[in-house]
Amino acid sequence: MKTKIKYLGALVCLLITNVLLAAESPTSGGGGGSSIGLELPIWSPDVTREYALSKVVRGSRYVYSQSMDWDFEGRHSDTNVVGKGAEDVLGKLFSSELVYRLTNPDDTIQGYVYLYDANDNLLFYGYADFTATQLKQGMSPLYNIWIQNVPILSGVESAEILVLDQDGRTVRRIDLGVTAGGQVLWQPWYSGSPNGILIVRTKDGGLVRYDLAKPISQKVVGSSEVASFKVNGHYIVNAEIISEVKIVEVWERPTVFLKTSKQWVNIDVLGILQDGGKANFERPTHVVITSVESGVTRTVPLNSDSDTLVGFEGGTFRLYFLWIKFGQPGTIYTGPTDGGKG
């Protein structure tokens, strides 16, 4: 049996607007380096599709069946064409006449379409299945064509998407493929996402970000900080500036790192004590002072009802205090660790 297929694909002409002028720039296309401030064609899936359609330069179509007669002298079951844009290439592919013969006309015929850019990246894939009997009855195969990963940018080392939560914080990172030529293999379903950021590291060491909802390139710059610290329950005092150690603690027994010259330092330390359902203040009975330089330790009694002046030689010292009730250590839990199941 001899079957001839001649199928003209009906294509919808798409309006190419000025918004894609930026897509033709080196930032988004196949040539040149990344230019800060230019826009990528990824702010909407339809814009990404339009961009990919414009990059098609060649395509192929072929059919296959289990009962294909490969020795049929007139067989022409595949075709390859070149063109400018997907519409031109598809028009040529589907105006080509495919000729073949099946030994079983009821077998499924599988038709495939592939569209490529100038760098041999697959941009679109199409498929249809039918039988020779259906063709004989007048059925016209309709190929569904789907967009694939779309190469964007150039000179790229690596790329990833940061997925943000409602507060704008990163909750997930998605690695993107990069071609051997340094182009990001963009997945169109991410285009325009309001909670996504594209991060691109270029081969020259640069780092660029694109908010997917408005993908204008922004250079990622470093951050600097001047921070401070606080150790819970610990105080660092420069008594050369203020000759006083004044502390009120609620839970923790305090410790002090003290820097001083040869002078008297006023020590006024209180702990808030919960005793009999009432809040009371307790002062420590003594302060234990250790010289950082010499390692010598001394214990000085403190007034029970007022602050105390304590004399120091010049240097740095570590202080802790002796208490009667305040800040008593708690007992370690002794109950079951299996939820009480025994």
Do 211 and 289 lie in a common domain? no
CB contact at 8 A, 293 and 318: no
Q: Quick one: average pLDDT of 94-113?
A: 91
pLDDT of residue 42: 94
Give per-residue pLDDT as tens, 287-316: 999 999 999 999 999 999 999 999 998 899
Which position has the higher pLDDT, 6 or 41? 41
pLDDT of residue 228: 83
Do 10 and 85 lie in a common domain? yes
* Among 219, 254, 277, residue at a domain's last position: 219
In whole angstroms, give the CA distance from residue 117 to residue 123. Answer: 7
CB contact at 8 A, 266 and 311: no
Burial of 132 from C-beta contacts in 10 A (0-12 / 13-18 / 19+): buried
Q: Quick one: average pLDDT of 196-210?
A: 93
Does 333 fall in a domain?
no
Give per-residue pLDDT as tens, 229-266: 888 999 999 987 778 899 999 888 999 999 998 889 99
Per the structure, the complete domain to which residue 141 belongs is given by 3-148
- 35 has pLDDT over 70: no
pLDDT of residue 108: 92
Do 77 and 202 lie in a common domain? no
Does 335 fall in a domain?
no
| Mean of the per-residue pLDDT values of the chain | 85
Give the model's confidence band at 38: pLDDT under 50 very low, under 70 low, under 90 confident, else very high.
low
Q: How many distinct structural domains can be found in the chain?
A: 3
- The enclosing H or E element of 113 equals strand 108-116
Give per-residue pLDDT as tens, 65-77: 999 999 998 899 9
Nearest to 113 by CA among 127, 94, 99: 127
Give the model's confidence band at 278: pLDDT under 50 very low, under 70 low, under 90 confident, else very high.
confident
pLDDT of residue 241: 73
In whole angstroms, give the CA distance from residue 263 to residue 285. Answer: 22
What is the β-pairing status of strands 244-249 and 263-275?
parallel
Which position has the higher pLDDT, 38 or 90? 90
Give the model's confidence band at 342: pLDDT under 50 very low, under 70 low, under 90 confident, else very high.
low
Which position has the higher pLDDT, 337 or 185? 185
Do 214 and 308 lie in a common domain? no
Give CA separation, 333 vs 325, 336, 341, in Å.
Answer: 21, 9, 17
What is the β-pairing status of strands 263-275 and 278-282?
antiparallel
> Residue 51 — φ and ψ, nearest 5°?
-60, -45
CB contact at 8 A, 174 and 161: yes
Give CA separation, 147 vs 52, 116, 183, in Å.
Answer: 8, 11, 17
